[in-house]
Amino acid sequence: MQKVFRITVDISKKIPAPAFEVNTNDLKSVKLEITITNGQSLLDLTDVTPRINIRKPDNEVIFQDCEIVNATAGKVQIVLENQAYLVPGTHTAEIACYKGN
What pLDDT is recorded for position 45? 95
What pLDDT is recorded for position 41? 94
What pLDDT is recorded for position 74? 96
Longest dimension (CA), the chain: 37
Report how far residue 1's alpha carbon sits from residue 20's, in angstroms, rounded to the nearest whole number: 17
Q: Flag whether pLDDT at 10 surpasses 80.
A: yes
Whether 32 contacts 5, CB under 8 Å: yes
Band (pLDDT 50/70/90 cuts) for residue 70 is very high
Three-state DSSP class for 78?
strand
Report pLDDT digits (tens) over 16-68: 777 888 887 877 889 999 999 999 899 999 999 999 999 999 999 999 999 99
What number of other Cβ atoms are within 10 A of residue 43's Cβ? Answer: 24
Q: Flag whether pLDDT at 1 surpasses 80.
A: no
What pLDDT is recorded for position 101? 58
- Please state the pTM of the whole predicted model: 0.88
- In the chain, the amino acid numbered 94 is E
